[in-house]
């Protein structure tokens, strides 16, 4: 199926990816070709077949709710490009509604 340019832009926004304009058309073509290939799955009869989300058969794996050592605040922040007063720092969240 052929994706539209607008659909690619919409998905890029959902994925929070700012794609270079030069890549949008290429991405549109490649995704269309891949999705075309996937239409093969439409020929499979899946009526009544339960979906597989995992293969181990394990469910509700729990451990005792006990205090355990964890990363220190300094360790958690050590890779952050910007932090202040023990917190990750970002630009204002609500000021630019057009991109939020």
Partner 1 sequence: MSDLHLLTITAARAALDAGDITSVALTEALLARIAAVEPRVHAFLTLTAEQALEQARAADAQRSHSRSGQALGPIHGIPLAIKDVICTSGIRTTCASHILETFVPPYDATVITRLRAAGAVFLGKTNCDEFAMGSSTENSGFGPTRNPWDVSRVPGGSSGGSAAAVAASEVPGSLGTDTGGSIRQPAALCGISGLKPTYGRVSRYGLVAFGSSLDQAGPLAWTVADLALILQVIAGTDPFDGTTVPHAVPDYHAALTGDIRGVRIGIPQEYFGEGMEPGVEQTTRTAIAALGDLGAELVEVSLPHTRYALPTYYIIAPAEASANLARYDGVRYGPRVAGNSMWDEIERTRGSLFGPEVRRRIMLGTYTLSAGYYDAYYKRAQQVRTLIRNDFQQAFATVDLLATPTSPTVAFPIGQKVDDPLAMYLSDIFTLTASMAGLPGLVVPCGFSCNLPVGLQLIGKPFDEATILRVGDAYQRSTDWHMQRPTL
CA separation for the pair 76, 46 (Å, rounded): 45
Given 4, 17, 67, 73, the residue binding partner 1 (CB under 8 A) = 17
* Closer residue to partner 1 in complex, CB, 18/67: 18
- Return the structure tokens found at 70: 């964890």
Please state the closest distance from residue 5 (CB atom) to partner 1, in A.
13
Among 22, 79, 84, 86, binds partner 1 (CB under 8 A): 79
Please tell me whether residue 68 adopts helix, strand or coil conformation: coil
Collapsing DSSP to helix, strand or coil, 63 comes out as coil
Q: List the structure tokens of 64.
A: 């005792």
Q: How far is CA 52 from CA 55, 56, 58, in A?
A: 7, 10, 13
Interface with partner 1 includes 40 (CB under 8 A)? Answer: yes
Q: Which residues bind partner 1 (CB under 8 A)?
A: 7-8, 11-12, 14-20, 23, 27, 30-31, 33-35, 37-38, 40-42, 44, 46, 49-56, 58, 61, 63, 71, 75-76, 78-82, 88, 90-93, 95-96, 99-100
């Amino acid at each position: 199926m052929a994706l539209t340019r607008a659909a690619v832009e919409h998905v890029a926004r959902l994925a929070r990816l700012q794609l270079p304009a030069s890549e949008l058309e290429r991405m549109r073509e490649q995704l269309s070709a891949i999705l075309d290939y996937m239409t093969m799955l439409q020929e499979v009869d899946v009526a009544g077949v339960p979906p597989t989300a995992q293969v181990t058969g394990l469910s509700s794996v729990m451990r005792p709710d006990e205090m355990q050592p964890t990363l220190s605040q300094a360790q958690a922040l050590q890779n952050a490009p910007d932090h202040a007063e023990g917190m990750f720092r970002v630009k204002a969240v609500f000021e630019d509604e057009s991109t939020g």
